[in-house]
Amino acid sequence: MTSDKRYADVRGILVIFAESHLWPNPANIFVIPDDRGFSMVDVGGRGELGYRHLMSGLRHLGLKLPDLHTVLLSHAHPDHMGAIPYILEEVHPRVLIHSLDVESALNPVHLHYTFDIPLAKEKYASSGEHQDFDLLHFFDEFGCLMSAAEDVEEMHEGDVIGLGNFEFEVILTPGHAPGHISLFEKRTGILLAGDLVGNSPAWYTPSSGGLTGYLASLDKLEAKNASLLIPSHGTILDNPSQGIDRIRGKLLKREAILMEALKDGPKSFMELNAALFRHEIIHFFPGCGIIESHLVKLEQDGMIDRNGDVIRLKS
């Protein structure tokens, strides 16, 4: 099993890696067998393709779907839970998700709010562009269909959840989703950091915790002093604090770019969007949510003034 890069046995946690860390590939899936069957952290997504990926992974591990008894969801995004309806056709495990992501898990239309799509539409109202943007349709077009869960149980900060021989501490880590959680296993030092730590920062929006939430979440993760970090996208990091610091650095680099642009004089929201993101295709989504998250933080830090759409450095 260890020679195949698609799978890993990490101190007893079995990982089914996605083919690529890039969106819209499914998230990595974590499998924990026990004497009753097995549990999973996240189930992946990407419609039929994602389901086949999951099933071939379970086959490789010698497990059968009907023996799945518990699912923990790191957050309610399609690459982490899109495969859920396929699973529910065969078996009805307990499904746990943080209370702040329950609504999106049961009614995915709610993701429009946690991704701040209304805010992005407002920014584009005068141009008339993107006014009919539908986030679920967007996910669907990328082949990463979002699906609803049926019955879920709530998790909360500080809960300790036993899966097999592991005791996972639930850490609420917003920024990317309001109820995004990371899981820390003290005995083994393993940290499952979800989408927060990987090759590049995850999307962030004010309603999901914003930049301030994201940075505070990274601090919380760092304080755990984990010895191994397994991200939801990408490969295992054996120096967790270095990986966490790299993402923090990238977030703060974005802030520095915006500050640099403002040093040249007042800017509009869209000018800052263009200053940070070269590719116009992401200006609407996720660009608007990310820019607004930075502006909220800069305002809180007393660095900028906003007057209508005129944003300037505080003198």
Based on the shown chain and the rule CB under 5 A, indicate whether residue 98 belongs to the binding site for Zn ion: no
42 belongs to the binding site for Zn ion (CB under 5 A): no
Contact residue for Zn ion among 8, 27, 155, 226 (CB under 5 A): 27
Query: How many residues can be counted in the chain?
Result: 315
User: β-strands 190-192, 181-185: how paired?
Assistant: antiparallel
Given the complex with Zn ion, which of 171 and 311 has the nearer CB atom? 171
Closest to Zn ion by CB, 177 vs 215, is 177
5-13, 76-84, 127-135, 239-247 -> range binding Zn ion (CB under 5 A): 76-84
Minimum Å gap between C-beta 256 and Zn ion is 25
Q: Are 160 and 170 in contact (CB under 8 A)?
A: yes
Looking at the Cβ atoms of 29 and 258, the one nearer to Zn ion is 29
* CB 197, CB 183: distance < 8 Å: no
User: What does the alpha-carbon distance between residue 221 and residue 230 come to, in Å, rounded to a whole number?
Assistant: 12
By CB under 5 A, residue 79 contacts Zn ion: yes
**Exposed / middle / buried, residue 127 (Cβ in 10 Å: 0-12, 13-18, 19+):** exposed
- Answer whether 185's CB lies under 8 Å from 167's CB: yes
How far apart are CB 31 and Zn ion at their closest, in Å?
17
Select from 26-34, 42-50, 149-157, 303-311 the region that touches Zn ion (CB under 5 A). Answer: 26-34
DSSP per residue over 93-122, as a string?
-EEEEEGGGHHHHH-GGGHHHHTTHHHHHH
Nearest to 203 by CA among 184, 180, 221: 180
49-57, 78-86, 250-258, 283-291 -> range binding Zn ion (CB under 5 A): 78-86
Q: To 10 degrees, the CA torsion angle through 243, 23, 75, 106?
A: 180
Closer of 18 and 304 to Zn ion (Cβ): 18
# chain residues binding Zn ion, by CB under 5 A: 4
Which of 14, 27, 32, 16 has its CA nearest to residue 71?
A: 32
CB of 85 to Zn ion, least distance (A): 18
Does 247 contact Zn ion by CB under 5 A?
Answer: no
Which residue number, 27 or 193, has a Cβ lying nearer to Zn ion? Answer: 27
Q: Which is nearer to Zn ion, 101 or 195 (CB)?
A: 195
Report the C-alpha gap between 26 and 83 in whole angstroms: 9
Distance from C-alpha of 54 to C-alpha of 315, rounded to nearest angstrom: 55
Q: Which stretch binds Zn ion (CB under 5 A): 69-77, 92-100, 153-161, 296-304?
A: 69-77
Q: Which of 42, 185, 195, 292 binds Zn ion (CB under 5 A)?
A: 195
Near Zn ion by CB under 5 A, which window of 9-17, 46-54, 195-203, 278-286? 195-203
Cα distances from 112 to residues 17, 108, 119, 134, 267, in angstroms, run 28, 8, 10, 8, 27
77 near Zn ion, judged by CB under 5 A: yes
Residues 224-243 that bind Zn ion (CB under 5 A): none
Beta carbon of residue 78, minimum distance to Zn ion (angstroms, whole number): 8
| Beta-carbon count within 10 A of 103 CB | 18
Residue with Cβ nearer Zn ion (195 or 269) = 195
Q: Which stretch binds Zn ion (CB under 5 A): 4-12, 23-31, 249-257, 262-270?
A: 23-31
Quick check: 212 and 296 in contact, CB under 8 A?
yes
List residues near Zn ion by CB under 5 A.
27, 77, 79, 195
